């Protein structure tokens, strides 16, 4: 069986209980983690080690918190006061953990689902999304990682253009795949608003409601948006149910672009937003 799972953010205990609840077997089943594997929760190191131990039975996407860890590790960012990443950074196998992390995916199109951490831009097709994700993956896995994370942050360009190149192009792709919530009519991204879908700034829509979105008929699954919560529509599934904020960790059993079952467990560890 195949399961999609929302944001973990270092909540290893909740992941273990969820895997027990679905009677997960690495030899029989496959899980897809939709990004933000680490940070803010109590057990980021244990979470990474568990996912690594699952081997090929787990496909893990990278979210903004996972990229944040890589940036800290390479001196591009300082830890935030609410980060819970020191156990990884101080681990004796730190290099192996970070090597594994930098080789994870930015997007995945399997089991009939296009999976990303945050969203896609309305101009992108599914095929283009995968190709653009591959550009970032190549940079993360290559010798230029340290330089890349130094230049990865910033809200510009907020509007996609096929003519973008270099770091501007890569930054736009990263922001769409790991940060976007709302877009304007032309696809311009807004990064300030973190409210639910009803809190869109004037002239903006949730990315999945953007007029003319070219992936509208493609089943899509994403996390990232805890204030949105669980959202299930035809061809759309949001699975960040706020585990680290005292909510639930959720999974969807899927097959050929359909949701067959939704399963969740309560998270016992609540982190204060900040």
Dihedral pair phi/psi, residue 198, rounded to 5°: -75, -5
- Give the pLDDT confidence of 239-258 residue by residue, as tens digits: 999 999 999 999 999 999 99
Report how many domains make up the chain: 1
- Determine whether 16 is exposed, middle or buried from the number of CB atoms within 10 Å of its CB (0-12, 13-18, 19+): middle
Joined together, the tokens standing for residue 163 give: 């003519």
Cα 61 from chain centroid? 6
Owning domain of residue 148: 2-266
Q: How far is it, in rounded angstroms, from Cα 189 to Cα 186?
A: 9
Residue 75 covered by a domain: yes
Residue 251 covered by a domain: yes
Mean pLDDT of all residues belonging to the chain: 95
Residue 48 covered by a domain: yes
Q: How far is it, in rounded angstroms, from Cα 143 to Cα 166?
A: 16
From residue 241, give the alpha-carbon distance in Å to each of 9, 50, 121, 185, 225. 12, 21, 23, 27, 8
Q: How far is it, in rounded angstroms, from Cα 83 to Cα 44?
A: 10
Q: How far is it, in rounded angstroms, from Cα 134 to Cα 91?
A: 29
| Residue 13 clears pLDDT 60, i.e. is over it | yes
Residue 273 covered by a domain: no
- Given a contact cutoff of 8 angstroms between Cβ atoms, the answer to whether 223 and 66 are in contact is no
Assign 269 a pLDDT band (cuts: 50, 70, 90).
low
Residue 271 covered by a domain: no
Residue 242 covered by a domain: yes
- Give the pLDDT confidence of 119-175 residue by residue, as tens digits: 999 999 999 999 999 999 999 999 999 999 999 999 999 999 999 999 999 999 999
Q: Read off the CATH number of the domain in which 146 is found.
A: 3.60.21.10
Residue 272 covered by a domain: no
What's the whole-number mean pLDDT along residues 92-106? Answer: 98
Q: How far is it, in rounded angstroms, from Cα 265 to Cα 268?
A: 9
| Residue 272 clears pLDDT 50, i.e. is over it | no
- Determine whether 250 is exposed, middle or buried from the number of CB atoms within 10 Å of its CB (0-12, 13-18, 19+): buried
- Give the pLDDT confidence of 56-94 residue by residue, as tens digits: 999 999 999 999 999 999 999 999 999 999 999 999 999
Residue 274 covered by a domain: no
Dihedral pair phi/psi, residue 185, rounded to 5°: -60, -30
Query: pLDDT at position 274, please?
Result: 40
């Amino acid at each position: 069986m195949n399961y999609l799972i929302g944001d973990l953010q270092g909540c290893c205990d909740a992941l273990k209980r969820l895997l027990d609840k679905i009677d997960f077997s690495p030899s029989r089943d496959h899980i897809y983690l939709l990004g933000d594997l680490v940070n803010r929760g109590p057990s980021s190191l244990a979470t990474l080690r568990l996912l690594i131990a699952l081997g090929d039975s787990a496909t893990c996407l990278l979210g903004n918190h996972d990229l944040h860890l890589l940036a800290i590790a390479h001196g591009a960012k300082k830890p935030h006061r609410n980060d819970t990443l020191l156990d990884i950074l101080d681990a004796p196998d730190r290099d192996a953990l970070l090597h594994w992390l930098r080789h994870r995916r930015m997007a995945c199109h399997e089991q009939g689902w296009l999976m990303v951490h945050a969203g896609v831009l309305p101009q992108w097709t599914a095929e283009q999304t995968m190709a653009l994700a591959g550009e970032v993956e190549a940079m993360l896995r290559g010798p230029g990682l340290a330089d890349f994370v130094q230049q990865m942050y910033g809200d510009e360009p907020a509007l996609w253009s096929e003519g973008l190149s270099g770091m501007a192009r890569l930054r736009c792709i990263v922001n769409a795949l790991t940060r976007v919530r709302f877009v304007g009519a032309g696809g311009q991204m807004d990064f300030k608003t973190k409210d639910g879908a009803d809190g869109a700034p004037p002239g903006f829509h949730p990315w999945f409601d953007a007029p003319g979105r070219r992936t509208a008929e493609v089943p899509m699954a994403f996390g990232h948006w805890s204030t949105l919560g669980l959202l299930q529509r035809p061809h759309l599934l949001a699975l960040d149910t706020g585990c680290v904020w005292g909510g639930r960790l959720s999974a969807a059993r899927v097959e050929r672009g359909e949701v067959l079952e939704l399963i969740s467990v309560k998270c016992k560890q609540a982190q204060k937003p900040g």
